[in-house]
Structure 1
Amino acid sequence: MFRRSWREVFLAIGTRFGENISYYILTAFLLVYVTVHLELSKSDALNAVLIGSEVHFVTIPLWGALSDRLGRRPVTLIGALGMAVWAFGFFALLDTRSFPVIVLSVTVGLLLHGAMYGPQAAFISEMFDTKVRYSGASMGSQLASIIGGTLAPLIAVELLKDYRSSVPISLYLCFAALVTAVAV
């Protein structure tokens, strides 16, 4: 796999990198940020993620369908570049401590995430020759999950602990989204 399709594997990792990191910051780390840093209730944090996820659930297939019409790359770029910008607005809105504003912040973030995620299955599989499509797409996707998604909440917690500010987390999220933008 790595001998013939190493470039495609790395492009698949890059394509999923920002998507994975953004998802786990917008959902898992958000719970810590809202309850520990902002000292709001767990139910507020969970309900914000639940409401955002309901919108996310509906819009992911819509983003996928849009990618069938416009192409995988343009739709993924909408999500990646939008997330790079939203990384800074996201925490600013959370810091208002207003439940409706927190819901808005999570929902917009998940809408942008959906633009990266919706086209992803087709986009990544199309990167590979048919002889290695399944194994290549799987390897790229799983490595991105291990490198990006698994570590994202842990890195975000450490950044918050060390800097007592959301700005380094926004920079991390922005960087991850830009990696995806470059990969696509």
Structure 2
Amino acid sequence: MEVKEVRIKTASPGIRQAREIYNLALQGKVYGVPFAVGLNEHVFPKEWGAADARIRGVTENGGIFVYYWKRAPSVFFTFLGETRNYEEFTVGVRDVKSTDPYFLNGRYISLPDRYKDVTIQDVIKVFGDNYYQSTYTEPAGSTVSYFYTLSFDYCIRFAVYENKLVSFMVSKQTNPFVQEDLKKLRQQ
């Protein structure tokens, strides 16, 4: 009897990490946070206690950035003043020196080591090629954004700076911050 060698191709670490991001984002979640985006702001303090920091954003929507550094050191939570619901979870913020007002009020949060192997090519392999791409340019350089819808409820945006994945954001599709990207993706 002849024995044949069977080769099993194992996914690269970046592909495995991109799949983890995808599977959690389908549920409106990010790693390290047991709650789905869209919950009322009062749920977190009941479960986790007081936030480590609350910073009012400079957005026209009255966004408030909330940090639980001890519980979720690589995540910041954004809820909108009028709805009082958390509309997005952002993992990693690229540069504390950014001129973008969205990041100016935040503490620097690095993309966790957990996702250090993920490339945008891994993201495209896992999430597909139906995305809206945009570029935000500032004096320090350009950030390329890849925006995907995941389900009726959730969407995700990946930020790439100097060819490196630097952050991603899981959001409700009702979030005013993503409405323009959602509209452009549907028009493609």
TM-score (norm 1): 0.29
**Counting helix residues as a fraction of each chain, which structure ranks higher?**
1
**Counting strand residues as a fraction of each chain, which structure ranks higher?**
2
* Higher RCO (C-alpha 8 Å, min separation 6): 1
Decide which structure has the larger Cα Rg and report it. 2
TM-score (norm 2): 0.29
